[in-house]
Amino acid sequence: MNSTEQNKLICWDKDHTIGEIVQDSFVPYPGIRSVLTELSLMGFQHYMTTSIEEDGSWEQMQSSGLADIFKELDIYGIESIRTLSKTYKAPYFVFSEETGSTEPHRDMIIIGDETSDQAGDLIHVVFIKLEKAEKQIKTLPQIISHVLARGDGEVRRGFDTIYRDADLSDSTSDDHWVKHVSLPNGVAFDLEYIDLYFQAPTDLEFSFPVIRNITGT
C-alpha cells in the first residue's frame, strides 16, 4: 500500500472496533481508512483477528472497501480462552516469519472493544481497549505515535516509560494501579497492568499492559 517498511503489527478486532453490521452489511466507522493508512505509514501491518469465520470477514472487507488494507491471508478467525481472552500466536508467527520479529511485545499491538480481546497467550503485548470505538478511533495514531516515541520505537518499552512517569494521583479510576495520561493535544487515556483475570498482577513479568478510557480528539 505504501513504500514504508512495515515492521510492526496491529491485530484488530472487527465488530464494534473498526465498524459494525448495519442491515446485514458491514459498515466501517467514519475515518477508519485514514487511521489505518496513517498507521501503515508509521510502519504497521494490519491483521484482523475476529472470532467469526474468516470467509465472512473477507467478504465484508471486500464489500466495505477495506480489502486493500485487510488482505484475505491477513484475516484470522481466532479462538477464545474461556471467554477471557483470545489467542494471537498464529498471526504473530506469520508476521515473525515475514519480518524476523522475535519479541512480540516490542512490535505488536492488539486493539478491540472488549476486555476479552486481549492476548491470553502472549504476555507483555499492549492492548488498546476502545469502549466507544466510533468516537475514539481517530485518536489512535496520536496515542500510538506517543508510545513509540517514548519507547524508542518499541511498543512495550514506550508503555512502561509512560506508566513510570505518570502520576497515580491523576488517575480517573479508583484502582490504585491505574495511571492517567494527558497529551498536549487534549487526548487522554488510562494505563494499567492486569493479569489474565483482569486483576492487578502480582508479578509484572506475567502482566498484560492495557490502554483504555480514551477521551479527546
The string of pLDDT tens digits covering residues 163-217 is: 999 977 555 555 557 899 999 999 999 999 987 666 776 766 778 899 999 999 7
What pTM was estimated for this model as a whole?
0.91
Structural domain spans, the chain = 8-215
- pLDDT of amino acid 174: 55
Instruction: List the beta strands (DSSP E) in the chain.
Output: 8-12, 19-22, 25-28, 44-50, 75-77, 80-81, 85-86, 108-112, 126-129, 179-182, 188-194, 208-215
Q: Are 126 and 160 in contact (CB under 8 A)?
A: no
CATH 3.20.20.140 fits 8-215, yes or no: no
